[in-house]
Amino acid sequence: MTDLAAPAAPDRLSEAIELHRRGQGLAAEPIYLELLAADPGHPDALHYLGLLRHQQGRDDEALDLIGRALQAVPRYTDAWNNLGNVHLRAGRFDEAETAYRAALECDAGHAGAWNNLGLTLRARGLYADSAEAYAKLASLAPDFAEAHYQLGLMLRHTSTLASVLDAFRRCIEIDPTHARAHYQYGYMLYITGHTAEAADVFRQWLTFDAANPVPRHMLAACSGEDVPARAADDYVKRTFDDFAESFDEVLLEKLDYHAPDLLAARLRADLGTAQATRIIVDAGCGTGLCGPWLKPYAQRLIGIDLSPGMLRKADARGDYDKLYEAELTRFLATYPAAFDVIVSADTLCYFGALEEFAAAARRSLKAGGWLGFTVERLDDDNPEPYRIRPHGRYAHRGDYVQATLAAAGFSGLSLEPGVLRMELSHPVQGWVVRARVGDA
């Protein structure tokens, strides 16, 4: 009688990996544990269980398991890459870089490790090195749109405008629906004065993302077509939510932002000795840059902004008694004769027409109350009272601002010129405006 061979045992590791790949980590976990019970040094089971622990937020266990896998197989490329991912999520950038470079020593063509190395170097501010990593990734995966996009972002810090534009253009050629590349490509065209070409990019973006307020607003800004009387709420909210984390660094360190200081210098003279007796509204408070100088005058300091991300940053400063996610004109109109001071730094540059705001501010101020704000300056010889500019903000003629406030019932008007910020190495000229409600 001939003996028959026993059926082959199921490939338990492959089964676990497939479950894991399909998002069924809880089903994969007992198989990994089963394999390790039979062989505590099983490198693949150690590695994949470590990856699962990382995905579960149990990073100490992940580091131990992946480290044991690498002890067993020192040239385990994917394990080095995932070790880097654990360190990267924890913000340990040096350790992450070391792990990714170890992965690349094992396999110089590992696209994932090049991508992750580029991300790590970017987080460390090593833009030239990050660009090299993304250039390598783009050469390994020439049809990977994101590689070209990330390369373009890094080249903005380190290379020529032509190289930046080429990277974003290539990204869009590969993926015509890559919204972030359209934004960056359009932005780079506009800042070099190619506004018609920028408008074409934003117009193309709208063909696949018609509900997005950003290309709609930027198309109006660059083309002059269908210009709204003010930026839409959803545009402002989305723009500043995306900007919230880096807002203070960019404005204060890179753009030499002065609007809050200019308002402080102007209104302190009007408010006199700092006494915490007033109810003050910071209309469009952003991250709260006006809060520190307003707080000493405030019995109650209220901040309003459309962006939840900005409000979280403002709340962390601790200057505000109450913060509201709201559109400032509607908010002010809801509270008649409620406030002593309204301040708005660099917010009304997202308004074209100012009549509705002026009426709401006048209605909400008590007798003797003060209004102070900044707007970007439009030369008086322009025919329009205000104009949208290609960067998406509005500039206003001084006589229009004065007439609008006077018509709303303000008195004691003053406009003083000032440089609000730097942009593209040029000063952004503005008006520092203050007005008063007459005593009852």
The CATH class that applies to domain 12-168 reads: mainly alpha
% of the chain with per-residue pLDDT over 70: 95
pLDDT in the model for residue 303: 97
> What's the rounded Cα separation, in Å, for the pair 215 and 198?
10
Point out which residues pair with 418 in neighbouring strands.
430
Comparing CA positions, the residue from 193, 115, 192 lying closest to residue 154 is 115
> What's the token pair of residue 272?
């006199």
pLDDT in the model for residue 205: 97
Give the contacts of 265 (CB within 8 A, at least 6 positions apart): none
User: Secondary structure of the chain: what % helix, strand, coil (to 5)?
Assistant: 60, 15, 25
> What's the rounded Cα separation, in Å, for the pair 134 and 115?
6
Cβ burial, residue 79 (10 Å; 0-12/13-18/19+): buried
Domains 12-168 and 244-436 share a fold: no
Q: What is the DSSP letter of 349?
A: G
The CATH class that applies to domain 244-436 reads: alpha beta
Cβ burial, residue 180 (10 Å; 0-12/13-18/19+): middle
Contact assessment for residue 227 and residue 388, using Cβ atoms and an 8 Å cutoff: yes
255-290: burial string, b at 16+ Cβ within 10 Å, e else: eebbbbebbbebbeeebeeeeeebbbbbbbbbbbbb
Point out which residues pair with 429 in neighbouring strands.
419
> What's the rounded Cα separation, in Å, for the pair 102 and 114?
11
Q: What is the DSSP letter of 350?
A: G
pLDDT in the model for residue 426: 85
> Strand, coil or helix: what is 284?
coil
Place of tokens 């839409």: 232
CA-CA-CA-CA torsion for 172, 175, 180, 182, nearest 10 degrees? 30
Contact assessment for residue 14 and residue 21, using Cβ atoms and an 8 Å cutoff: no
The residue type found at 369 is G
Query: Which residues of the chain, if any, have pLDDT below 70?
Result: 1-10, 243-255, 440
Comparing CA positions, the residue from 124, 186, 120, 111 lying closest to residue 152 is 186
Element (H, E) at 352: none
Give the domain ranges of the chain: 12-168, 176-227, 244-436
> Strand, coil or helix: what is 72?
helix
The residue type found at 164 is V
Longest dimension (CA), the chain: 115
> What's the token pair of residue 181?
């590349």
pLDDT in the model for residue 250: 57
pLDDT in the model for residue 251: 60
State pTM to two decimals: 0.83
Place of tokens 């800004």: 221
> What's the rounded Cα separation, in Å, for the pair 199 and 216?
10
User: What is the tens place of the pLDDT at every residue in 284-343?
Assistant: 999 999 999 999 999 999 999 999 999 999 999 999 999 999 999 999 999 999 999 999
